[in-house]
Structure 1
């Protein structure tokens, strides 16, 4: 078992009530739900940070094939003809 630490965190009562009702119907542990939610948020934040830090690292000369085609065409070519993406009309 990994090391844990106890935190005392205040939540708005309405959020606690909504979370409790939601988790009760699914039989999910509230602590596990909160830990998973925070871990997911941290992964997203770190991904955004990485994107911002690497933005502009490549010049057009570094990847000339990207300038010759659209992003969609480039991804479709990368994936292969059998894995063409479909457009989603909303």
Structure 2
């Protein structure tokens, strides 16, 4: 923990505030973590991996995509994207 909080930039090593260790292993103040989650930011500000289990959200998005009829111009277009959660 000899680095700064990625949200408020306070030095974590001598900070009196509680800290949180995210799934990816990076740390930040617990207060900053809660503020980040409350603002619907669910990825680590350092490595961009999800800080919470997003599987329910991914299922909801998949269901919405399947239920949406694409316009004819885009119906057979393919898009490739990468997810950083490994």
Q: TM-score, normalised by structure 2?
A: 0.31
Greater strand proportion: 2
Indicate the structure with greater helix content. Answer: 1
Asked which structure has the greater RCO (Cα within 8 Å, sep 6+), the reply is 2
Structure showing greater radius of gyration is: 1
- Using structure 1 for the length normalisation, give the TM-score: 0.30
